[in-house]
Amino acid sequence: MSIFILSSLCSAQNAENFHRESVVKQSFFSYMGQEDANIFFTKLNIEQSPLSYYDAGGMPIIGNPQYVKSGYDSTIRYYVGDFYKANSNRYQFILNILGLKKGQFFSVGFDNGVKADKLTVNPSVFVGYTQTFQISKQTIFNLGLGTWLGGNISESPCIDSYDRQYWCQNLTSWNDYHPNYPKPLSYIDFRVLAVF
């Protein structure tokens, strides 16, 4: 007997792969009557002083430097460590719960976000659903979907003694800074398991 898995991932971003792979695996096992766990975490994280900040879906936002150099004059160096120091720990989790049907899982998650002097990542909530179906005697189909809701990102400028505004990461003009923050992670996965 050989097993062939066809997998198609259609997502806004390619992050949180561990969650996605783990819940699909458990869904397949559950459908085949071999479930390992009825309730399990696929993300459980506590951040205290990260080197970089990420959105809830794991996409990079911004560094957490101690010192920066000016984008205009590399001889100018400035301490910004306190500007990006989070006011509290960041807590993130995704919990998966077996549904009433075999092969069915519901996922819920939470990220309390980040609040620092120059960076804010608002709290966000994750919701997801995974279901495995049998298409034919030798073919099983899996559908998974999920999304993070909330998590808006905003920054504040540094201001010098002349009331000029700068982007704190490289001390260039705030007016020239146009961030391209990641969009909240949303995904739809289709997978087919064929047994030959």
pTM of the model: 0.85
Q: Is 27 helix (H, G, I), strand (E, B) or coil?
A: helix
Number of compact structural domains in the chain: 1
Its domain, for residue 78, covers: 3-195
Give dist(CA 194, CA 61) in Å, integer: 39
Q: Give Cβ neighbours of residue 91 (< 8 Å, ≥ 6 apart).
A: 45, 46, 110, 111, 112
pLDDT tens-place string over residues 124-143: 999 999 999 998 888 999 99
Which amino acid would we find at residue 164?
R
What is the pLDDT at residue 28? 87
Give the Å distances, CA to CA, from 150 to 39, 103, 108, 156, 169. 25, 28, 14, 19, 25
Give dist(CA 74, CA 71) in Å, integer: 6
What is the pLDDT at residue 35? 65
**DSSP single-letter state for residue 182:** P
Residue ranges of the alpha helices (H) in the chain? 17-31
